[in-house]
Amino acid sequence: MTEVVQQLVDGLGRGGEYALIALGVGLIFGVMHLVNFAHGEMITVSAYVSYGLALAGASWWILVPTIVLTAVLTSVLVEFVAFRWVRSSSDFTMLLTSFGVHFVVQAAFVMFVSASSRHFDRPGWITSTVSLAGIRFEVVDLAIIAATSVSLIFAVWVLQRTVYGMAIRAAAEDFDTAQLLGIRPNQVIRAAFALAGLLAGIAAVFFLMRTGRAAPSAGLIPMLKGVLAALIGGLGRLQGAVIGGLLLGLVEILLVSYLPDDIDGMVNGIIFVLVAVLFIFRPSGILKVGPAQRP
């Protein structure tokens, strides 16, 4: 029983990170009909900024807000530099552009920093554990669950309660109608990228705390997991992204825990097979997907 609860908490912690990334992927898909394969670059750029600051002696109190801010700025910058100018092109062009951004950022860090990973100190408490009701939990898992819960509540509040959130949801449902109501395309898309960047930045904080590593492809796996979670939940459905993220995290942790040691390297492969099986029965993911149009 104790083991199951620990795994549940571990899975929710991991899933929370994926949910934060998936929510951003879903937001951007909603307003632009784009599966943004450059979404991980926010983590990559944040990782190198953290590495630079850590070298200069900055503490994690400085690194945390810097990582989040870097992710927001990177996200907005990527939208402005890479996507705004091809927005009226086909979905395929947008997809290729997002791959292009990923490879350009990766190549830039290989060329100007190093192809190998750069390590920096993780916070001292990252491996600490705490005992609650006789069960030991990793502090980082509890911190992630708390932070992702607050972040997701904040994101839901922005989307549900503010007029800007309503504008994002309106644009995600029907961009032409949103424009008819006076919503500015550039503004609403920038807001969606900023919010997606904020969520990815919070995920990046914990990802970098766990790994303490900057690498040219640092954001690749988190991005792929985020896209997968968004697909599982139903691409374009924001609630679906959260559900998909949590589910993916739980399944991943359970597989790691219960698979025999000699095949636990196949966890990602098994997850993809499970997702394929899910799509056979629910081709649109867990929640039904509505149409999305790009302005």
Partner 1 sequence: MLVDAETSAKTDGELLSLESIEVSYGPVRALFGISLSVGSGETVALIGPNGAGKSSVLHAIIGLRRPNRGRIRYKGHDITGLPTQQRIRLGMALVPEHRRILATLTVEENLLVGGMILPRRLRQTRANEMIERFEVLKRKRSQQAGVLSGGEAQQLAIARALMPSPELLLMDEPTLGLAPLVAAQVFGLIKELRERGMTLIVVDQNPRRVLNSADSAYLIRTGHIVQSGSADQLATREDLFGSFLGGSPEDSGVEPMAGPAVGSRKTVETPKSGSDD
- Which stretches of the chain bind partner 1, using CB under 8 A? 163, 166-167, 169-170, 173-174, 176-185, 290
Closer residue to partner 1 (CB): 159 or 209: 159
CB of 127 to partner 1, least distance (A): 43
DSSP the chain: -HHHHHHHHHHHHHHHHHHHHHHHHHHHHHHH----TTTTHHHHHHHHHHHHHHHTT--HHHHHHHHHHHHHHHHHHHIIIIIGGGTTS-HHHHHHHHHHHHHHHHHHHHHHT-SS-EE-PPPGGGG-EEEETTEEEEHHHHHHHHHHHHHHHHHHHHHHHSHHHHHHHHHHH-HHHHHHTT--HHHHHHHHHHHHHHHHHHHHHHHHHHH-EE-TTTTHHHHHHHHHHHHHH-TT-HHHHHHHHHHHHHHHHHHHHHS-GGGGGGHHHHHHHHHHHHHHH-TT-SSPPPP----
Closer residue to partner 1 (CB): 65 or 290: 290
Closer residue to partner 1 (CB): 96 or 173: 173
CB of 160 to partner 1, least distance (A): 9
Closer residue to partner 1 (CB): 129 or 179: 179
CA distance 89 to 294: 9
Closer residue to partner 1 (CB): 30 or 222: 30
CB of 226 to partner 1, least distance (A): 22
CB of 32 to partner 1, least distance (A): 17
CB of 172 to partner 1, least distance (A): 8
CB of 31 to partner 1, least distance (A): 13
